[in-house]
Amino acid sequence: MVVRRRPSRSHRFAESPVLQLALQGWRSRTVGLLLMAAFLLLVGRGFYLQVINNDFLQEKGDSRYLRDIEISASRGKVIDRHGDMLAVSTPMRSVWAIPADARAMSGEQKKLLADLVALKLRELDGKLASEKGFVFIKRQVPPQVADQVSQLKLPGIHQEREYRRFYPAGEMTAHLVGFTGVDDKGLEGVELAFQHALLGRAGARTVIRDRRGNIVEDVGATRPPQDGKDITLAIDSKVQYLAYSQLKAAVSEHKAKAGGVVVIDTRTGEILALANLPTYNPNNRDSLTGAQLRNRAVTDTFEPGSTLKPFTIALALDKGKVRYDSIVDCAPGRLSIGRATVSDAHPHGKLTVAQVIQKSSNVGSSKLALSMPPREMWEMFDGIGFGQVPQLGFPGEVSGRLRPWKNWKPIEQATMSYGHGISVSLVQLARAYSVFARDGDLVPLSLLKAEAPLLRGAPVFSPQTAREVRAMLEMVVSKEGTAPKAAVLGYRVGGKTGTAHKLEAGAYANKYVSSFVGIGPISEPRLVVAVMIDEPGSGRYYGGDIAAPVFAQVMGGALRTLGVLPDAPMVTADAGRRPGVM
């Protein structure tokens, strides 16, 4: 039987009346225009980014593979006045790793790497365990060792060029030149004081690197490196060696705690030598201590003792209180001031002003000091640089201690006349003595080589006063003075001894600082040499016994090194001769 179906009326989905939406004509046109505007906006934006201003997309693309690597600049050299090297940078390499890649090394490869760079295997494993994307394995690796590392072709291990500072003079100039850290930045001495000039500016190159950090292509330099400037110091290496070697011998002989020597060219204010003990080797600082680091001539202060007497005498001469041959009654070797007493080491009777210096009389110096207003003494001390930072540019420079004159008691004024109750650095003391060498004027000190002599400095004393004191200083090194051991064969020299108790916890201890500061040659002064020996332990402590011989060796050797002509017979000085006033 055939079944016939009735034809059914069917509707297409698209023609469903439910889906039909009757829109007004203006609304459909608006929607169409908005869609078209959005499309045009996207097209315009794409055209702008890819054609007109494609820097943004280019930068994003470059960041995936382009890298800027730093090109190290060579640090400037430090040289002495004759061009001898005191500090120079030598090329080295740093070995670094991408830990994630370096972990692919085998145990044998790790052991080879650790042996080459002098690391323990557990130290190397610790570095490679880092989650950072970059770690240093070893800094400042010698080139020959770095080449051996390269030949191993280890995964994740890379190298960069850097520099290591080398100091040819070693411990002889350690406190003067200082040293740099592993990043080639100055940490002490001249290296720190002139950091900006020495450092230079690193350059940069653009390279293409793969994900493992390997350089695929060198695109080119984006900024050339600028090497640091060379620094020419005033130091004369021969004079520096002389000062250092004589100081070292004296500290050893007298079992002293420390010592220092400063040599100044009085014509220019240049520091020709600056030596300290204890010292250190800047090329090997593994066992460095704080005591070794201290540049004592600049950073440490001490009571200068009788080395200050010439300034008290000079002020009295300048103010017309006394003359060169005026008599000062120093008997009976003691002077009571209030409830305190000033004493001489050896009692004297009547002395001339010149003999007060020659015999180093505390009583004579105190009487002359008390004849003047405190303010005048303070102004004189201030005028020669005490209580002020020397402005050498050295890190850690100190000003010393010079109390305001309004607070001085008579006993304090008296003791300051012979160097107690006031503190100075060795550099300050050496500079102050240059006023006697330069006919009364004071010039600034310089670590850098000077181009020409300084014609005139700041006036402190009259030329006549400076010449008279210079003659008194020459009497000190005669057989009747306190420092015959300071005499120099062939040269007329003069100076003053200093022996002072050390202050500890606000009280004077049974420890001494021995010093001697002098000028040479007297006829036409060229150098000031200042010597300080801290806590001599050999049983002797007077400056004439401890510091004066060091002065004689350094002054004589330095004058001969500089080619200064002798101004005295090549015989020992005649003790009975009264030096003429220059």
Q: How confident is the model at residue 280 (pLDDT cuts 50, 70, 90)?
A: very high
Which tokens go with 205?
């190159």
Percent of the chain with pLDDT over 90: 58
Reported as type and span, the H/E element at residue 504 is strand 494-504
Q: For residues 379 and 181, which has the higher predicted lDDT (pLDDT)? A: 379
CB crowding 488-508: b at 16 or more within 10 Å, else e: bebbbbbbbbbbbbbbeeeee
Question: According to the model, what pLDDT value does residue 21 have?
Answer: 55
Q: pLDDT digit string (tens) for 114-158?
A: 899 888 888 888 888 887 777 888 888 888 898 898 888 888 888
User: Maximum Cα–Cα distance for the chain, whole Å?
Assistant: 167
Amino acid at 55: D
User: Quick one: the chain helix, strand, coil %, rounded to 5?
Assistant: 35, 25, 40
Q: For residues 502 and 15, which has the higher predicted lDDT (pLDDT)? A: 502
Q: How confident is the model at residue 485 (pLDDT cuts 50, 70, 90)?
A: very high
Nearest to 419 by CA among 429, 434, 409, 427: 429
Q: For residues 454 and 82, which has the higher predicted lDDT (pLDDT)? A: 82
CB 526 within 8 A of CB 564: yes
Residue 209, C-beta contacts closer than 8 angstroms, at least 6 positions apart: 65, 67, 215, 216
18-27, 361-370, 511-520, range with the lowest pLDDT:
18-27
Question: According to the model, what pLDDT value does residue 22 have?
Answer: 56
Question: According to the model, what pLDDT value does residue 221 have?
Answer: 58
Question: According to the model, what pLDDT value does residue 6 have?
Answer: 56
Given the residues 72, 89, 237, 306, the one annotated as active site: 306
Q: Which domains does the chain have, with CATH numbers?
A: 68-90+159-232 (3.90.1310.10), 237-561 (3.40.710.10)
CB 581 within 8 A of CB 468: yes
Whether residue 306 lies in the annotated active site:
yes
* Count of other CB atoms within 10 angstroms of residue 124: 21
Question: According to the model, what pLDDT value does residue 581 have?
Answer: 42
Residue 343, beta-bridge partner list: 334
Question: According to the model, what pLDDT value does residue 275 have?
Answer: 96
Q: Residues 382-386: what's their mean pLDDT?
A: 96
Q: Nearest 10 degrees: CA dihedral of 498, 501, 507, 511?
A: 150
Q: What is the pTM of this model?
A: 0.81
Q: How confident is the model at residue 424 (pLDDT cuts 50, 70, 90)?
A: very high
Rounded to whole angstroms, how far apart are CA atoms 325 and 224? 70
Percent of the chain with pLDDT over 70: 86
The whole-chain average pLDDT of the chain stands at 87
Q: Nearest 10 degrees: CA dihedral of 231, 197, 191, 297?
A: 70
CB 474 within 8 A of CB 493: yes
Rounded to whole angstroms, how far apart are CA atoms 464 and 462? 5
Which tokens go with 408?
């001085």
Q: Is the pLDDT of residue 572 over 80?
A: no
Nearest to 524 by CA among 566, 579, 553, 578: 566
